[in-house]
Amino acid sequence: MNEDLKKTLLNPIFKGNPITVLVLGICSTVQLKGALVMALSVIIVTGLSSFVVSLLRNSIPNRVRIIVQLVVVAMMVILVDQVLRAYAYSIDKQLSVYIGLIITNCIVMGRIEAFALGNKPIPSLLDGLANGAGYGMILVIVAFFRELLGSGTLLGFRVLPASYVPNNLVILPPMALIILGCIVWVQRSIQKDLQEK
């Protein structure tokens, strides 16, 4: 595999994760199933939006590029939402507004601006997929701990013993930020180059 493509694919997932390095916000769910669907949705929207904008990059006038990007992202989000409504209605209902919020997600527009506008379609697709996967990985990790400690289950199946008393604090929204802070702390402890001086 080409070294540039390998870096494009692996860096956003591990070393240059957009959430832990840039400290972007996330739309966290309490249940792992919802987080997996949300992660897959972000991966698809980010990848396809980057691909389409890269295809159009030479024909988009600079003064309307943000509007065109928003239209492309909104179209991808609507497609994902409609597929979820058709094939996974209960999860779509559970995620409700979160799917729509992908339109305003920093990672989607950021990758279009930073990469897709200056690169060919296939590398842009891979960059979008990889950054979406990095974002999704953090969503899944946060939801894993919130569901496990908040209800003693994973994907709805009881994992911890019946004697486990669920920690209701973990299912509150601030706990998602605390878990995210712990993930950022662990990554910056491992990657010394990310530490601020």
Element (H, E) at 154: strand 153-154
Does residue 107 lie in a domain region? yes
Does residue 105 lie in a domain region? yes
pLDDT in tens, 82-112: 998 899 888 888 787 777 777 777 778 888 8
Does residue 95 lie in a domain region? yes
Kindly report the pTM of this predicted structure. Answer: 0.86
Does residue 196 lie in a domain region? no
Does residue 71 lie in a domain region? yes
Q: With cut-offs at 50, 70 and 90, classify the pLDDT of residue 8.
A: confident
pLDDT average, residue stretch 34-46: 91
Q: Residue 36 is part of which domain span?
A: 8-19+26-189
pLDDT in tens, 142-184: 999 999 999 899 998 999 898 888 888 888 888 888 888 888 8
pLDDT of 197 higher than 60? no
Provide the 3-class DSSP secondary structure of residue 1: coil
Q: With cut-offs at 50, 70 and 90, classify the pLDDT of residue 194.
A: low
CB of 127 closer than 8 Å to CB of 50: yes
Q: Tokens 């992202």 identify what position?
A: 73
pLDDT of 20 higher than 90? no
Does residue 195 lie in a domain region? no
Establish how many alpha carbons lie within 13 A of residue 52's alpha carbon, considering only the half-sphere containing its beta carbon: 18
Does residue 194 lie in a domain region? no
Does residue 146 lie in a domain region? yes
The rounded distance, in Å, linking the Cα atoms of 64 and 178 is 39
Number of domains in the chain: 1
